[in-house]
Amino acid sequence: MQNLPKDNESLRIILITIFSVLGIVMVILGWKMTGKLAGLGIIAVGVALLLTSMGIYNEKYN
């Protein structure tokens, strides 16, 4: 990302919240689909969203 989330604090908070909540929901939904390949894909996307939210959070401190 460019410097938009670093400069705009309210946008950072909104993006972090959306990515975190969506990531946790996707991990839980994927976990409930144990034994199915689609569940693994949903979990992988959820983890990617959680990592993205952490990246946005840490961008301010780089």
DSSP-derived secondary structure for 36-56? -HHHHHHHHHHHHHHHHHHHH
Three-class secondary structure of residue 2 per DSSP? coil
Q: Tell me how many degrees the CA angle 20-3-57 measures, rounded to the nearest 5.
A: 30
pLDDT at 1: 47
pLDDT at 34: 85
Residues of the chain with pLDDT under 50: 1
pLDDT at 62: 75
CB atoms within 10 A of CB 30: 20
d(CA 43, CA 49): 10
d(CA 9, CA 7): 6
